[in-house]
Structure 1
Amino acid sequence: MDAFTQLFEKGRNGPCRPWPRVEVSAAEWTALTGHLVAGDLVLMGLWGDAGVVHMALREEGGGRLAVATCPCPDGTFPSVARHHAPAARLERTVRDLFGLVAEGAPDPRPWLDHGRWGVRHPLGTSVRAEPAGDANVVLAADAYPFLAAEGEGLHQIPVGPVHAGIIEPGHFRFSCYGETVVRLEGRLGYVHKGIEGLMAGADIAQAARLAGRQSGDSTVAYALAFCRAVEAARGIVVPERAHALRAVMAELERLANHLGDIGGICNDAAFALMLAHCGVLRELVLRASARGFGHRLMMDKVVPGGVACDLAPEGVAALRALVAHVRAAFPALVELYDNTASLQDRTVGTGFTRPDHVRQFGAGGYVGRASGRAFDARRSLPYPPYDRLPFEVAGRTEGDVNARVWVRIREVEESLGLIVRLLDTLPAGPVLAELNGTGEGRAGEGLAVVEGFRGDVLAFVALGAGGRVRRAHLRDPSWFQWPLLETAIEGNIVADFPLCNKSFNCSYSGVDL
């Protein structure tokens, strides 16, 4: 019996639902790391807690998921990143927030802590910052030790953290030979908002509102992941109509973001016409969402136990009209994209992401599926109502900007079909479960994974004895996509960075926590 199977079986009767969590020794933790290196397991998340560190693992190609918990009595744990690079920024975050140190870590630099908080390890020991005696503390943004690139004729180009328009802040350091990018390194953390600290001690209703604000363009996905974790912890049975309405909202969110991204990518290739037309369609999606659910982004509409509002007949009519309109207008835009030579010249072959890198980082969403990794949480880890809905998981193998556009195009088409199927089969009945008598006030833990428009969102929730949130962690898919952007731009020219960046469209807020 392999290490993961032992972990899974041992935790079946533990506190976490529906997937187990098991306390492991340092040696067992290291053995699981070996399975990550071998490619048998996929790293789904790594986060800190009071005196322990957790690691969520999934079988590659399988439907089993489990959490390993390593106690840190001396404030240290064996580094996963020492052998498996995708864990590096997660380990740096654990150190910043909890003060737990990954022994043997290849990168000891801070990640979220820019030296401006006034305290260190705010979710752990929480001591006043005294940087003068600690060489590992960075006081200012310009003191951050970016990785060096050596070679004759190389120069550096700093970009950000402030960008044009309404883009979130992030710093990008390019090392270039002429116009060719030799190395790119990103630095984030500028929109850190302490969301995990705010969720600790909150009641589940307030925590659900906070979850939906970790990354605002994915408010439905985040709220859904959090609520499913709470429902698993408490044994709450969600009404079938609520499951269906949640999926309608999730597909509307996917539709709006993909339409916006397709237009934005084309705009970064100097083809503003697509941006204008896709922008109109995205606006129609937002207006129909407001008609159906009372909010353009459907914020705070997914709640523990179901949904906050029902879909009235006029809302159904608005959504059906939306689908009909987009289905009529979208094919012409696809043809325009595919038959514009100047646009294809910019997107085809640009920003190539290697399939082995995608597999190593377990990248999901359009980034993974455009490079041959077919993971989609709706299919691979099915949850209601997707466990009984037919749909195709779009995929490509070219791994370039063009492939990421085509994955989005196919997902737009699938989302339109899913919305129609959901409306055609919308069950009658209540939209919110009665929470009384379903473990209210009971301690417990829940784990959930849902598919957002960027990829899989993971949520872990631990409820205290009073029913309030003791610990909540939500992992954005961008944690495993940002590093791949750095590899995708290598060998491209600096002017192609906006195009590559938009084709990834990673979340800043989602990883800044």
Structure 2
Amino acid sequence: MLPPDFILTRNAQAVEQFACPVVPFERFREAVIQGVADEGRLPALFAAPISGSDALRLTAVLAQSESGDLGLLSCDIGDSYPSLTPDCLAAHWFEREIAEQWRAQPIGHPWLKPIRFQPPRRNGTTESTTQIGITDFFRMEGAEVHEVAVGPVHAGVIEPGHFRFQCHGETVHHLEISLGYQHRGVERAMLAGPTARTIHYMETLAGDTTVSHATAYCQIIESLSKTRVPARAQAIRAVAAELERLANHIGDLGA
């Protein structure tokens, strides 16, 4: 069960922005950590600017696998806030992305560095201050420990990414991924949509997730417009998504 502060919804259901509860940060932090500790998942943690203010609104999405419920909860933050990551590892990448996008520093984050190496969206900055792939990577030391570097160019349909494996013999002890090699500004392009190119953007976000990304976007539009999808269309989507999932598993097995 999700903590009581969260407003409940379901996948592919729209929620009014102002219906999401806004609580003090400490209460927000405690609720998220408790929700994850109670076998909830943290599929999203993101920030957005508050109109007419320099503050940011931080929103967490918690998911319960058994019930299928999604919980939403928000709080307001400034230029910095106490990091959730030391007590909730699932927030690790999300907080790094928030810091990169909005220059909001999660104080106490164990290893704060860029995720996508994209320009920040705050304070009028338009250029990234870091170069893609130039960062501190985790390293292991010891006899017979070796590093295997893969990418960013891959012999497949996945998007570019640089992977560094820390290995001892046949055992992989650590994998670190560096993204951002093909930032195309799709999110900004979506702001004025939908347009004739919108579905094309969705289908080409990642070569191995064409069906899933397109379906997710369609569900967003359908939920916002309160459109009912015929059962036949839902069945076709399910079959196509399952075929795509199987193709990805088979591709990974052969990699």
What's the TM-score bracket when you normalise by the shorter of the two chains? 0.7 to 0.9
Matching residue within 71, 75, 87 for 2:76: 71
Change (3 A) 1:214 1:126: farther
Change (3 A) 1:144 1:220: same
Deviations 1:189-244 (A, max 9, x none): 2232222222123346654543333234433332332232333333x23253xx42
2:191 paired residue number: 200
**Are the counterparts in 2 of residues 169 and 191 from structure 1 also a CA contact under 8 Å?**
yes
For the pair 1:16 / 2:34, whether they are aligned, the reply is no
Structure 1 position 145, deviation (Å): 0.6
User: By percentage of residues, which structure has more strand?
Assistant: 2
For the pair 1:249 / 2:237, whether they are aligned, the reply is yes
Change (3 A) 1:60 1:217: closer
Structure 1 position 43, deviation (Å): 0.8
1:238 paired residue number: 228
Please report the TM-score for the alignment, with normalisation by the length of structure 2. 0.79
2:102 paired residue number: 98
For the pair 1:189 / 2:180, whether they are aligned, the reply is yes
CA distance in 2, matches of 1:160, 1:219: 21
Deviations 1:414-473 (A, max 9, x none): xxxxxxxxxxxxxxxxxxxxxxxxxxxxxxxxxxxxxxxxxxxxxxxxxxxxxxxxxxxx
For the pair 1:29 / 2:28, whether they are aligned, the reply is yes
Matching residue within 163, 174, 181 for 2:154: 163
- What pairs with 1:99-498 in structure 2 (closer than 5 Å)? 99-113=103-117, 120-121=119-120, 123-129=121-127, 131=129, 138-139=130-131, 141=133, 143-203=134-194, 207-234=198-225, 236-240=226-230, 243-259=231-247, 261-262=249-250, 264=251, 268=254, 498=255
Structure 1 position 112, deviation (Å): 0.5
Change (3 A) 1:190 1:203: same
- Amino acid corresponding to residue 106 of structure 2 in structure 1: A
For the pair 1:61 / 2:61, whether they are aligned, the reply is no
**Are the counterparts in 2 of residues 175 and 184 from structure 1 also a CA contact under 8 Å?**
yes
**Are the counterparts in 1 of residues 208 and 248 from structure 2 also a CA contact under 8 Å?**
no
**Are the counterparts in 2 of residues 37 and 83 from structure 1 also a CA contact under 8 Å?**
no
1:346 paired residue number: none
Change (3 A) 1:205 1:35: farther
Aligned length: 243
User: By percentage of residues, which structure has more helix?
Assistant: 1
Structure 1 position 40, deviation (Å): 4.0
Q: Which 4+ runs in 1 deviate beyond 4 A?
A: 128-131, 204-209
- Amino acid corresponding to residue 105 of structure 2 in structure 1: V
Deviations 1:306-346 (A, max 9, x none): xxxxxxxxxxxxxxxxxxxxxxxxxxxxxxxxxxxxxxxxx
For the pair 1:47 / 2:46, whether they are aligned, the reply is yes
Q: Which has the higher contact order (CA 8 A, sep 6+)?
A: 1
CA distance in 1, matches of 2:7, 2:128: 43
**Are the counterparts in 1 of residues 5 and 31 from structure 2 also a CA contact under 8 Å?**
no
Runs (5+) with no aligned partner, structure 2:
9-13, 50-55
Please report the TM-score for the alignment, with normalisation by the length of structure 1. 0.42
**Are the counterparts in 1 of residues 165 and 172 from structure 2 also a CA contact under 8 Å?**
yes
Deviations 1:481-504 (A, max 9, x none): xxxxxxxxxxxxxxxxx4xxxxxx
For the pair 1:5 / 2:4, whether they are aligned, the reply is yes
CA distance in 2, matches of 1:165, 1:215: 11
- Amino acid corresponding to residue 61 of structure 2 in structure 1: A
Q: Indicate the RMSD between aligned Cα atoms, in angstroms.
A: 3.1
CA distance in 2, matches of 1:207, 1:189: 21
SS at match of 1:5: coil
